[in-house]
Structure 1
Amino acid sequence: MNSFIKTKNGLSKLYDYLLNLKYDHQFSLKTNSSVQLINMDVKSKSIIHARHYQATHYRLFFKIMNQLSLPWNKFNFIDFGSGKGRCLLMAGMLGFKEVFGIEFAKDLCECAKSNRESFQKSFPQIHLPPIKIINEDALNFFPKTKNNVFFFYNPFDGVILEEVLQNCSRYSPPGSRDYYIYINPLRDYLFGPLGLKEIMKLESSNHNKKVKIFTNSS
């Protein structure tokens, strides 16, 4: 049984790797390679709390969005640790109202901008919403938009995550319906004290990455 599971997981990883390469090529993007942040241009002291950059798999991203199934044109997408911009562009294709990428590594922001321009040049017929790539420490970003989908691919440790969640909860406009997507939810215990309730859990996601979704909406 263990060998079967290992084989299945290995095939799943290979499938995702090939699928990521395929879609990067299809969309004229360069988002697939992982990056150690220690080699990046980062001025923030928060780097000691950060994780290395690795893009969310295309298949996992669309699986999550299919499960959440919101009227995207009424929501904003905010990716904390947006890296090279893969999820920003996929969110744009889904039709979110506005898309924001918060990334403290200047080099990765430049990659994301390059990917955005490459996509728009290759697919001028696809209308994208405003995609704003913000070179900023997540601690210094205070959401002002109403109705948001906050996206976290385990970008930093609990010290930073707790404060970012507090900012999202505190600064979102009154009456805002907010959803929090948390991939690899190692610190899911930080959501409850802020009044955020878990509404969805994906157990058998790609590469055994669990996903939890929280909301402030009743």
Structure 2
Amino acid sequence: MTWRDRWFHLKRRVCEFFEDQWFDRTHHVHTSGDVSLRNAGIATGEEADSELYVPARPKHIREALHASPIPDASPYTFVDIGSGKGRTLFVAAELPFRRVVGVEFSARLHEQACRNVQTFRFRGKDGSRVEPLHQNAMEFRFPDGPLVLYLFNPFGAATMQVVLNRLNESLQRDPRHTVMVLLWPRCGEQVARVRGMQRVCGTQRHEIFQAYAPMRQS
């Protein structure tokens, strides 16, 4: 690694640190800091397809959400699968989603998210629409109505396939506009195989898919 590479890496880490701190201070929450599987309370035997908690940068989340093909967020339920301490939930709560739901397997991270919901304040908004759930994503039942699903590599391909199978079953029972946002995507090919799911756009940082016709504005 050259000195330029080292300088760029250091500069990026410093910027990320201050962006994290600014987000937490302005939203009155604590979402910063990576958490290992051990510190998250993931038991031995449950680690194989799990990933450590790394909070996404707020600007990357906002970029992905603003690129999503939804004319109006208000009819949609936003679901973050692998929601950790809740950072993405609070970014989503800046938008007028009908509901903002988080699904988290780690009890410790879920408890921190619940504490954050109680203290969250941002430009007159509170945590009343934010619903953290302590649940295994493979058992999650997708809500009725149009959806925006967000994943930042919370688990490996095996768990992802189970989640996608359940989503496929849900969409076959109740076809509705569903948008899937992948941040720093690793499972795009799996998502593309879901019946009715089509790739909308993609960059290095995010990949976005949708199923079925988008809702029309009245």
Same fold (TM over 0.5): yes
The 1-side partners of 2:55 and 2:182 are apart by 14
Are residues 43 and 143 of structure 1, via their aligned partners in 2, closer, same or farther at CA, if it must alter by over 3 Å? Answer: farther
Matched, 1:49 2:49: yes
Matched-pair contact (CA < 8 Å) for 1:80–1:102: yes
Aligned match of 1:164: 163
CA contact (8 A) 1:95 1:128 kept: no
Structure 1: distance between partners of 2:112 and 2:184: 24
Residue of 189, 192, 216 corresponding to 2:211: 216
Q: Which structure is higher in helix share?
A: 1
- Equivalent in the alignment of 2:216: none
Partner of 1:132: 131
- Give yes or no for contact 1:92–1:131 (8 Å, CA) kept in 2: yes
In structure 1, the partner of 2:73 is 72
Mean CA deviation greater in 172-181 or 98-107? 172-181
What is the aligned length?
209
Structure 2 residue matching 1:179: 3-state secondary structure: strand
Letter in 2 for 1:164: V
By how many angstroms is 1:160 displaced? Answer: 0.2
Structure 2: unaligned runs, 5 residues or longer: 214-218
CA RMSD of aligned residues (A): 2.3
CA 1:194–1:84: 2 relative to 1, 3 Å: same
TM-score by length of 2: 0.86
Which residue in 2 is equivalent to 1:114?
115
Query: Which deviations, in whole Å up to 9, do the C-alpha atoms of 1:146-188 show, x marking residues without a partner?
Result: 1111111001000000110111221145231001111222222
Deviations 1:118-143 (A, max 9, x none): 115xx593255522111111000010
TM-score (norm 1): 0.86
CA shift in 2, pair 1:45/1:150, >3 Å: farther
Look up the equivalent residue of 2:101 and give its one-letter code.
F
CA distance in 1, matches of 2:69, 2:189: 25
Worse overlay, 128-137 or 29-38: 128-137
Q: Which runs of 5+ in 1 are unaligned?
A: 204-209
* Map of 2:140 onto structure 1: 141
194-203 or 11-20, larger mean C-alpha shift? 11-20
Percent identity, please.
Answer: 19
* 1:42 Cα deviation after fit: 4.1
How big is each residue's C-alpha offset from its partner over 1:182-209, in whole Å with a ceiling of 9 and x where there is no partner? Answer: 1222222112221322111123xxxxxx
- Look up the match of 1:207: none
**Rounded Cα–Cα distance in structure 1 between residues aligned with 2:123 and 2:30:** 18
In the aligned structure 2, how far is the partner of 1:171 from the partner of 1:126? 31
Report the 3-state secondary structure (helix = DSSP H, G, I; strand = E; otherwise coil) of the residue aligned with 2:125.
Answer: coil
Change (3 A) 1:171 1:145: same
Q: Which moved more, 1:161-170 or 1:42-51?
A: 42-51
Q: 1:77–1:150: 8 Å Cα contact kept in structure 2?
A: yes
What's the counterpart of residue 206 of structure 1? none
Moved more, 41-50 or 22-31: 41-50
